[in-house]
Amino acid sequence: MSRHEIPEYEVDTGTARLVPDDQLDDAFTLYLNGVPSSHVAVGRPLHLDFEYMRWIAAVVQRFVDAHLDANKLRVTHLGGAGCSLPRFLAAVYPRSRHTVVEIDAALAKLVREVFDIPRSPTVKIRVGEAREVVDSLRPATRDVIVRDVFADAVTPEPLTTTGFFAACARTLVPGGLYVANCGDHSDLTGARAELAGMAEVFDHLAVVADPPMLKGRRYGNIVLVGSDTPLPADRDPDLTRELLGGAVPAQYHAGAWVERFRSGGRARHDAPAARD
């Protein structure tokens, strides 16, 4: 099938296309409104094609193995698309439970039909707006929250504010982990603003990205990490080795490096509530 013959699916937020992977059988990249949003290799949940997802997976695994009970792991994924990361973590931790928050009901139905996403309660897809869902969750009921939400190529601002970070922290158990995929431009103002806001809520912060991104040379992904429990150290050998081993080698930074990097960042705050 040529790319020109690939059908479009109408979903609530626009159109979706499943483009076959030329290098891997039964693998597809999910495009939403022309933007690559997920890669899924059917039958191979441990295959993560997107580098930033490998970085998130490495950080989550290192943290879970050090601090959390894998047999009782509860993870909320804000942003669903093809559910690549929930599939991965469900395979790594078979007794874990995952809630995927996806705003697009038609998309959620489509990916359930075409991909081998584990059934509920292992992976539950909840249709809803991410901020509203986080605000509604009961305190101390999640071990890990992963934010990977984009409207086209931008994370909605209500998911980048101190109010949002506080809501996530309230929902996490003591010692829980917050991880976000931040898409940013070469000026890196978005990542610095988010870290400034996260610093008001979380005691410990970390950053993962490839060196050209951190030097402000292009648009790309930066993984932002927060917790009230100490995160891996800057020179954690196992994490460093894993992040350097991919097709796009990445660096992990914590502590003083993050403090310097976020200096000058201005935290975003929720808009004042409308008055009657």
Going from N- to C-terminal start, the domains of the chain cover 49-262
Residue with tokens 């009782």, as numbered in its chain: 72
Token pair in block for residue 50: 């997107």
Per-residue pLDDT, 127:
97
Per-residue pLDDT, 3:
46
Q: Which residues of the chain register pLDDT less than 70?
A: 1-5, 273-276
User: What is d(CA 151, CA 13) in angstroms, rounded to the nearest whole number?
Assistant: 9
Kindly report each contact of residues 254-263 with a partner whose C-beta sits within 8 Å and lies 24 or more positions away, as own/partner: 254/204, 254/205, 254/206, 254/207, 257/207, 258/195, 258/205, 258/206, 258/207, 261/192, 261/195, 261/207, 261/214, 262/192, 262/195, 262/196, 262/199, 262/205, 263/192
Q: Omega before 36 cis (within 30°)?
A: no
Per-residue pLDDT, 122:
97
Structurally, what CATH architecture does the domain formed by 49-262 represent? 3-Layer(aba) Sandwich (3.40)
Per-residue pLDDT, 5:
64
Token pair in block for residue 88: 């991965």
Backbone angles phi, psi at 187, to 5 degrees: -80, -15
Per-residue pLDDT, 78:
98
Q: Which helix (H) or strand (E) holds 54?
A: helix 51-67
Per-residue pLDDT, 204:
97
Longest dimension (CA), the chain: 57
Look up the pTM and report it.
0.94
